[in-house]
Chains A and B, each alone.
Chain A
Amino acid sequence: MTTTQTLLTPASDPTPVVVNMLPELSGPQWVTRFPGSNRTSDLNSSFRQSAEDFIVALRAAGANVRISATYRPRERAYLMHYCVKISKGLIAPDKVPKMSGVEIEWDHGDGRASKNAAAEMARGYTIVHPPALISRHTERAAIDMTITGIIGKTMLDASAQAVEVTDNTVLYRIGASYGCHKLIPDPPHWSDNGT
């Protein structure tokens, strides 16, 4: 097979060529796109420092820390949010707002086909509860981590004071001293403001 390469913007006329891309129809192929991260390097700079310092202190005290999630792209949240809404008939496919950088066409030109494609996406994401559009994770300001083996140990807070972690509320205080605030109903979730 031979391939041909063509300059879209000829050197003789430097005016940029505009290429109109047709949006891609919704469907399960979108599920693997815009993946989330579990790296602290994907957090915003101020919260990254807080989270990394807290984790270093936890590990130094003998805790086991496993990070599940840090940054979740807004694009992924958008896809998850609207595929559920369309599949449940809560919004018409042609009424879904566009999102820059996500060239998806929700409307298949047929109501049932649009709903089925959205439902396949929802199944692919294994969604049970309605996903939110914006969160501290989309703002690079939250971390989900499993912390075990810290109760009963002594660790340093952000002012280098040794504190015995007698229970989780003590751990929450220590986390807050580093700028990692706890959200109570979600055990793995810490963020820059506790939401």
Chain B
Amino acid sequence: MKLLPIIYLLVLSPLAQAQINIGFYKQEKSGLSLYTTAPLTAIHRIALCADPSDNPSACYWLKSNEFQQAEAVDDVMAEQTVMHYRMSRHISPGIKTGQGIAIINAEQVRRSANSSFIAIAQRKHYKILICTGVEGINLELLDGPRKLHSLYFYLGYDTLPTCENTGSIDVKSH
């Protein structure tokens, strides 16, 4: 009887066990960088998608074995370590834009209204919200109302904010 759960676990595909996560990609002449909090061993499939406000093209799918660990980066003030993985191959024209969103371990990804994506993983639907602050991109992965992950990508220039909460913190209220 005890063998049954073990056999069941063995037949589960790696993708079926893998947790969904989010990240950012940046493509330069030297190759492609992936930034995420997910460990490389937990990544099986990556969808690289342009920001919906930037480009209507479809997502580009990659496998994790093409990536190698690079230097970790700080997620500013979030006190979490963001991993940096590199791939030396340049995948243009598969991806037209220099940077965008990475959706990790999803089985399907589709665009939704209001600059967001719907990802399907392990038969569940997840929402991925994207908005810009005054100089960076905010990304959130939601399971219903529950926020699973959030990540920020610093652009290094001032942009036109689209995030709803663009105001400063009200110091007096704390």
- Residues on A facing B (Cβ under 8 Å): 66, 68-69, 72, 77, 80, 123, 125-132, 135, 137-138, 144-148, 151, 168-173, 176, 181-189, 193-195
Contact = CB atoms under 8 A, between A and B. Distances in A.
Chain A to chain B: the 4 pairs with minimum beta-carbon distance, closest first: A194-B168, A185-B133, A135-B158, A186-B133
B35 to A, nearest CB: 14
Given A146-B74, A183-B168, A187-B78, A128 B54 contact: yes
- The size class of the interface chain B forms with chain A is 35 or more
B156 A69 contact: yes
Interface of B: 51, 53-54, 74-79, 97-100, 131-138, 152, 154-161, 163, 165-169, 171, 174
B157 A72 contact: yes
Contact of A148 (B74, B131, B174): B74
A185 B138 contact: yes
A57 to B, nearest CB: 16
Contact of B134 (A125, A176, A189, A193): A189
Contacts of B75: 187
Given A151-B79, A186-B136, A193 B168 contact: yes
A184 B134 contact: no
Contacts of B161: 185
Given A128-B97, A188-B154, A183 B133 contact: yes
Contacts of B167: 183-184, 194-195
Among A68, A131, A181, A188, chain B packs the most CB atoms within 10 A around the CB of: A188
A128 B99 contact: yes
Among A135, A171, A184, A185, chain B packs the most CB atoms within 10 A around the CB of: A185
A138 B78 CA distance: 26
A77 B158 CA distance: 8
B158 A123 contact: no
A193 B167 CA distance: 10
Contacts of A186: 133-136, 152
A131 B154 contact: no
Contacts of A137: 135, 158
B166 A146 contact: no
